[in-house]
């Protein structure tokens, strides 16, 4: 990619997954970026080249553009150099399920009166947040401050690629200079652009995540019916996914979705609807199906092992999905807690998420390889589909295990290979070997 020299400098407030990727991505496009965070240790580390998250390609991008990336804890640095201030602070769920906007509002409160600046909201916020912030600006005598909604759709694990090759860019604005400037910023990516009003842009983000979560809960329920009826959900999804009205993505049955976005955004949309007087029935089911799905592994283990008291259960993977160390709302959190409550001993290995997992999971013995997890285990549960687990020597695994149960929580392993090693393989929504009809040829 060419590196133009006259690109507009920008500010990015919040240097987490979204902020740092956005900053590095715009640096790649040629922009100088002032990155601001309240976390002094994070900013100090970034100044010294330490990347606080594990995200493929990010460290290289930050290193390549060190000259364009400026890190500071002082908002004034961004205000001095940039007109557009991207907001990428966290909006975690509150106890009620509503989005916690306290970080967003503290950024808003810190803005000075200005006719030269605009906030560009990347954080995922409820519909109406932009209108509220504009009202706050007016009440505080800062009506000149512009506001643009620019929701972020990157996926952890492929965030850098998603920034540079987005499916679309959504910009919600009031048709003023700030919206035009954000359109110009993204122009080099040549992505389909949806320029709309602020509320619609806010809703595009929430509705997109709610739809994807619905697709996952839908295929998980199909998987559960497959288990009752003897159909194989992998075959069913293959047949469904070739219909281009449906598409193959997000049709992988498993032990539920997690992560920092889907659970909180789906709940936030449900709450937003409820707060506005509308009961969003479908989303209630999507959430409930997902919670139950995380627990289905328990029944599978008990079917194979009987009581779990004193049983050694090994978890392969802990992160909410591969290629990230993000543990927020990971299915492994629920599973490890349920297993321990049932009296099992839990050991686990994740190629990158151990440090994050240690902050959130208690009572789990962390191992340094899948082979160590298998050694002496009564059962293994694949929780995260890290590629290295597909390459395991299952004969060696079988020889070192105390039991022979393998629950594939992501339908990721080669079932025949696992069974050929003498292990009892069970996936999600897939018939046991003895129930399967012989493969037919045309």
Of 102-110, 246-254, 310-318, 364-372, the window that binds ligand NAD (rule: CB under 6 A) is 102-110
Q: Do 374 and 397 contact (CB within 8 A), yes or no?
A: yes
Q: Does 18 bind ligand NAD (CB under 6 A)?
A: yes
How many of the chain's residues bind ligand NAD (CB under 6 A)? 27
Q: Is 261 a catalytic residue?
A: yes
Distance CA(230)–CA(46), nearest Å, equals 53
Asked if 90 interacts with ligand NAD (CB under 6 A), we say: yes
Work out the end-to-end distance of the chain between its first and last CA atoms, rounded to an integer number of angstroms: 48
For residue 225, give the 3-state DSSP assignment. Answer: helix
Tokens linked to 139: 């009440």
Q: Which of 91, 224, 332, 405 binds ligand NAD (CB under 6 A)?
A: 91
Q: Alpha helices of 306-379 — where are they, by DSSP H?
A: 331-341, 354-360, 370-374
Residue 267 touches ligand NAD, criterion: CB under 6 A: no
Neighbouring C-alpha atoms within 13 Å toward the C-beta of 108 = 25
CA distance 387 to 384: 9
Is the CB of 90 or the CB of 427 nearer to ligand NAD? 90
Q: Are 256 and 221 in contact (CB under 8 A)?
A: no
Taking alpha carbons only, the member of 113, 122, 161 closest to residue 15 is: 122
| 323 is an interface residue for ligand NAD by CB under 6 A | no
Marked catalytic residue, from 35, 150, 226, 261? 261
- Give the β-pairing of 118-121 and 69-72: unpaired
- Are 195 and 179 a contacting pair, CB within 8 Å? yes
**Contacts with ligand NAD, 37-76, as mask; x by CB under 6 A:** xxx--x----------------------------------
Contact 294, 256 (CB under 8 A): yes
Q: In the complex, what is the shortest distance from the CB of residue 289 to ligand NAD, in angstroms, rounded to a whole number?
A: 22
**Binder of ligand NAD out of 11, 14, 25, 263 (CB under 6 A):** 14
Q: Which segment (85-93, 174-182, 395-403, 418-426) binds ligand NAD by CB under 6 A?
A: 85-93
Q: Does 312 bind ligand NAD (CB under 6 A)?
A: no
Which strands, in side-by-side order, build the sheet including 424-426? Answer: 365-366, 345-349, 312-316, 379-382, 405-408, 424-426
- Using CB under 6 A as the binding rule, whether residue 25 contacts ligand NAD is answered as no
Q: Does residue number 88 form part of the binding site for ligand NAD (CB under 6 A)?
A: yes
Q: Which of 12, 17, 224, 270 binds ligand NAD (CB under 6 A)?
A: 17
Nearest approach, Cβ of 16 to ligand NAD (angstroms)? 2
- Per-position b or e across 133-160, b if 16+ CB within 10 A of its CB: bbeebeeeebeebbbbbbbbbbebbebb
104 or 373: CB nearest ligand NAD: 104
311 near ligand NAD, rule: CB under 6 A: no
By CB under 6 A, tell whether 123 contacts ligand NAD: yes
Which of 129, 149, 260, 323 is in the footprint of ligand NAD by CB under 6 A?
260
Pick one of 36, 198, 301, 364: the residue that binds ligand NAD (CB under 6 A). Answer: 36
Which active-site residues does the annotation give?
261
Residues that bind ligand NAD in the complex, under the rule CB under 6 A: 13-19, 36-39, 42, 88-91, 103, 106-107, 122-124, 152, 154, 156, 260-261
């Amino acid at each position: 990619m060419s590196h133009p020299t006259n690109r507009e400098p920008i500010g990015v407030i919040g240097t987490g997954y979204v902020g740092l990727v956005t900053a590095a991505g715009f640096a790649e496009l040629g922009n100088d970026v002032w990155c601001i965070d309240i976390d002094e240790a994070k900013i100090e580390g970034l100044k010294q080249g330490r990347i606080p998250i594990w995200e493929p390609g990010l460290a290289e991008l930050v290193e390549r553009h060190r000259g364009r990336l400026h890190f500071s804890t002082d908002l004034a640095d961004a205000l001095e150099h940039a007109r557009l201030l991207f907001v990428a602070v966290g909006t975690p769920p509150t106890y009620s399920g509503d989005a916690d906007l306290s970080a967003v509002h503290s950024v808003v409160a810190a803005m000075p009166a200005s006719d030269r600046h605009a906030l560009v909201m990347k954080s995922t916020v409820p519909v109406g947040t932009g209108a509220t912030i504009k009202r706050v600006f007016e009440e505080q005598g800062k009506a000149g401050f512009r506001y643009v909604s620019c929701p972020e759709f990157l996926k952890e694990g492929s965030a850098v690629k998603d920034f540079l090759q987005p499916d679309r860019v959504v910009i919600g604005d009031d048709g003023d200079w700030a919206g035009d400037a954000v359109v110009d910023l993204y122009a080099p990516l040549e992505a389909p652009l949806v320029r709309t009003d602020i509320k619609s842009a806010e809703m595009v983000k929430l509705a997109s995540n709610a739809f994807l979560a619905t697709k996952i809960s839908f295929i998980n329920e199909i998987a559960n019916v497959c288990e009752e009826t003897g159909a194989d959900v992998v075959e069913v999804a293959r047949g469904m996914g070739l219909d281009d009205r449906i598409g193959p993505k997000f049709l992988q049955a498993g032990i539920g979705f997690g992560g920092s976005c889907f659970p909180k955004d789906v709940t936030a949309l449900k709450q937003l609807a409820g707060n506005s007087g509308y009961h969003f029935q479908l989303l209630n089911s999507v959430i409930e199906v997902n919670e139950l799905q995380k627990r289905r592994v328990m029944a599978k283990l008990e079917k194979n092992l009987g009581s779990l008291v004193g049983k050694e259960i090994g978890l392969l993977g802990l992160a909410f999905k591969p290629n990230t160390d993000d543990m927020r709302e990971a299915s492994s959190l629920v599973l490890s807690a349920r297993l321990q409550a049932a009296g099992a001993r839990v050991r686990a290995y994740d190629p990158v998420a151990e440090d994050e997992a240690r902050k959130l999971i208690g009572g789990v013995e962390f191992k340094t390889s899948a082979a160590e997890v298998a050694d002496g285990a009564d059962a293994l549960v694949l929780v995260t589909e890290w590629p290295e687990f597909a390459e395991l020597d299952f004969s060696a695994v079988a020889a070192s295990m105390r039991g022979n149960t393998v629950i594939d929580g992501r339908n990721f392993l080669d079932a025949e290979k696992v069974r050929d090693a003498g292990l009892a393989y069970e996936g999600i929504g897939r018939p046991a070997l003895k129930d399967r009809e012989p493969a037919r040829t045309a």
